[in-house]
Structure 1
Amino acid sequence: MGKLVRDRIPEIIRRHGGEPVVRVLGEEEYRAALLAKLGEEAAELAAASGEEVAGEIADVFEVLRALARVHGHDWRHVEKVAEAKRAERGAFEDRIYLD
């Protein structure tokens, strides 16, 4: 079973004496793999604690950036959309939970 990995992972594996078996995904496979990776990284974030949290958030962030690109959006556009949503609906800072 394979998984999507960061671009330099094959190089790192080779540097440590391994020989990775890799392939480049097509557009639809890539989108599906990114969504699967987002779930994987979100689960790792949920299980993280202490200093690990920042690294796991960074992993989720990198997957989100890739998802934005694959859907034709640059990150600045996503930030503008997020800002507009914050202005209209608020953020999650007040910890409001709707029962």
Structure 2
Amino acid sequence: MQFNKLVRDKIPEIIEKDGRTPKYHIADDAEYERELLRKLKEEVDEYLENPSPEEMIDILEVIISIYGVKDYDKNKLEELRVKKCQERGGFFNRIILDETN
């Protein structure tokens, strides 16, 4: 069975315990970043098909990995998120913009 996709760190071990032999490689920086973005889309699509806490956790895990690749500071991101929320608001009021004139 062919996959060619980024998987969680323990997946090769789980496959081996299942009696199968995984073939894999370790991504270089460019491939890792590209595959994280592809994985983010995959996980969002899965969440849209099945909105569950488990699928939300998968999205969060990918985003946390992207923090590391981009060398983003989690606290700085939260600071920027709060600032943007103060300036432009969040999505809490459920506002749907229908049109402008």
Give the partner amino acid of 2:31.
Answer: E
Q: Distance in 1 between matches of 2:79 and 2:7?
A: 28
Aligned-pair Cα RMSD in Å: 1.2
In structure 1, the residue corresponding to 2:45 is in which secondary structure?
Answer: helix
**In the alignment, which residue of structure 2 is the partner of 1:85?**
84
- Give how far 1:89 is off: 1.2
Aligned counterparts, 1:57-76, within 5 A: 57-76=56-75
**In the alignment, which residue of structure 2 is the partner of 1:18?**
20
* TM-score of the aligned structures, taking structure 2 as reference length: 0.88
In structure 2, the residue corresponding to 1:97 is in which secondary structure?
Answer: coil
**In the alignment, which residue of structure 2 is the partner of 1:95?**
94
Aligned counterparts, 1:30-45, within 5 A: 30-45=32-47
> Structure 1 vs Structure 2: percent identity of aligned residues?
39
Residue correspondences, number: 96
Contact 1:68–1:78 (CA under 8 A) maintained in structure 2: no
* TM-score of the aligned structures, taking structure 1 as reference length: 0.90
Q: Distance in 2 between matches of 1:43 and 1:95?
A: 22
Q: Which runs of 5+ in 2 are unaligned?
A: none
